Amino acid sequence: MNLEPTPLARARELRDRETLSPARMVVNASHDAVHDDAALEPPLVVDLDGTLLRSDLLVESFSATVATRPLKALGGLLALRHGKAALKARLAEDVQLDFAPMPWNEDLLDLLAAERARGRRLYLASAADRSLVEAVAAHFGFFDGVFASDGTTNLSGSAKAAALCAAFGEGGFDYAGNDKVDLQVWEKAAGVLVVNANARLTRQAVSRWPNATVLGQLRAEPRAYIKAIRVHQWAKNLLLVMPMLGAHLIDTADIVHCLIAFMAFSLCASSVYVMNDLADLARDRRHRTKRLRPFAAGTVPMLHGLVMIPVLLIASFGLAVLLPPYFVALLAIYYGITVAYSMGLKRQLMVDVVVLSLLYGIRLYAGAVAVGVPMSAWLGAFSMFLFTSLALIKRSAELADRSANGLGDPSGRDYRLSDLPVLEALAAASGFTAVLVMGLYVSSDAVRLLYSSPNRLFLICSVLVYWLGRILVLTHRNEMHEDPVFFAITDRASQVCGLLCLVIFAASL
């Protein structure tokens, strides 16, 4: 998110408009009087988390620490024994937060800029640790002072109300907040500003203070939550069905088992996706497209994300126990590898590609276990080369996009723009090796036991040659989505190729 010009610059612009035009000299003559009147008004005190910032600095601090020093983050939780303020102070130590791309409340910033231009005093009051609150105030440059937690006192609710009354007197300030705990502060304030609160709290505040000003309202958008758990990525888990189809075991019981396995892997993956997005907030906000992800953009509260992680994981394993124990073990291995990938393996040269390919293979193996059929060596070899190719295409697409937009080497990845030709060559080699494996499978004796017209399966090789060649060329042209699986789901030509493969498969039975 681009915050330029800054609110202070906007305030200066408002002042300049009043002073540069000769036609407004009469207005300017009374400007000082207006400025003095604003200075005599009660100061406007603004809450930070959820009000000025569509996020939470405690969760931001925890996520940033987990991403760089996970052991310190876990150790920081021990400080909770001494209270929430101690936890905030511990997590704020040495943390480096990038404030510029954070999801700030632009409507409130515009209001603050206008009030500052009038000469009104502005203060920032937050339950976040003082070091972070002071850094935010310095970032904007127009606050007259801050109130914050100090490692001992958690400045929230009644504690915040008491601090503001001690500084300005009861009824000596206006207050902008967004949370239920802010009711205790509004009780002591002269003016009430309800900013980005939920509908219930907004109605409650307006009922108690009819003259309250309402600026925006927090609305739960189901689409944002669906986007946060990346439901579109669940398509990858259709691989769990492949062993059942390959063994020609299509009955009601097997279909039910595959459906349970599909949902278990999907919910498990979504749990890791949420964890990954919370850990990668800083990088995502600097990314051209990832900055629009729900947590990075502030459309889904980060606290909700922290709740979603264990809920999705518990639901996943709750379904998994309905299947054989070996399936549960494979799901646990899958979860462990995906967490390791999110926490560090994805930043290692070629290790990330191998791990992504391995995760696809685990899906196939788990699908075989779910329906009780042996894993085909042919299917395993085919998937290994095909999914290695797709993982390499994913990295190639990222580099091609950065190169086309004049960006440098990616941060957080052990790749360089100069690596693009090598990755494209590896992707092509791995992909067409998968086609070769498919051809050898069709020529084998094993296939003749399963199909009445096995030679027709060679047509699938032709479809794969077209599809792989096409996406390789599109990647080179920078016309490929960063996720080739998502591209295949939404691309019309890919959909036609998938349909053709199904028709050929059915015609070969």
Task: Say if residues 346 and 280 touch (Cβ distance below 8 Å).
Answer: no
> 98: which 2 tokens?
């990038």
Helices and strands, number each (H, E), in the chain:
24, 6
Arithmetic mean of pLDDT, 123-146: 91
pLDDT at 73: 66
Q: Reduce the secondary structure of 354-371 to three states and give it as a string.
A: HHHHHHHHHHHHHHHHHH
Provide CB contacts within 8 A for 416, sequence distance 6+: 409
pLDDT at 173: 93
Which H or E element spans position 391? helix 377-404
pLDDT tens figures, 365-415:
898 888 888 877 787 888 888 888 888 888 888 888 888 877 777 776 777
Arithmetic mean of pLDDT, 77-97: 77
Arithmetic mean of pLDDT, 213-230: 85
pLDDT tens figures, 455-507:
888 898 899 999 999 989 988 888 887 677 778 778 888 889 989 988 888 88
Range with the poorest average pLDDT among 204-213, 265-274, 354-363, 443-452 = 443-452
Provide CB contacts within 8 A for 55, sequence distance 6+: 49, 102, 103, 298, 301, 302
The percentage of residues in the chain with a pLDDT greater than 70, rounded to a whole number, is: 89
Q: How many CB atoms within 10 Å of residue 497?
A: 19
Nearest in space to 239 (alpha carbons), one of 344, 348, 330, 351:
330
Classify residue 49 by its DSSP letter.
B
Phi-psi sector, 248: left (phi>0), alpha (psi -120 to 50), beta? left
pLDDT at 16: 43
pLDDT at 251 over 80: no
Cα separation, 113 vs 107, whole angstroms: 10
Cα separation, 102 vs 92, whole angstroms: 17
Cα separation, 68 vs 356, whole angstroms: 22
Model confidence band, residue 265 (pLDDT cutoffs 50, 70, 90): very high
Identify which of 230-239, 288-297, 312-321 has the greatest average pLDDT. 312-321
Classify residue 410 by its DSSP letter.
P
Strand partners, 44: 122, 174
pLDDT tens figures, 4-19:
444 434 433 433 443 3
Tell me what the pLDDT averaged over the chain comes to. 82
pLDDT at 488: 79
Cα separation, 192 vs 214, whole angstroms: 9
Cα separation, 297 vs 102, whole angstroms: 8
Cα separation, 321 vs 33, whole angstroms: 74
Nearest in space to 171 (alpha carbons), one of 182, 158, 186:
186
Classify residue 289 by its DSSP letter.
T
In 191-274, DSSP assigns E strands to: 191-198, 213-218
pLDDT at 232: 82
Cα separation, 104 vs 101, whole angstroms: 8
In 219-360, DSSP assigns E strands to: none
Model confidence band, residue 352 (pLDDT cutoffs 50, 70, 90): confident
Task: Say if residues 119 and 62 touch (Cβ distance below 8 Å).
Answer: no
Which H or E element spans position 146? strand 145-149
pLDDT at 143 over 70: yes
Which H or E element spans position 147? strand 145-149
Task: Say if residues 116 and 11 touch (Cβ distance below 8 Å).
Answer: yes
Classify residue 153 by its DSSP letter.
S
The percentage of residues in the chain with a pLDDT greater than 90, rounded to a whole number, is: 29
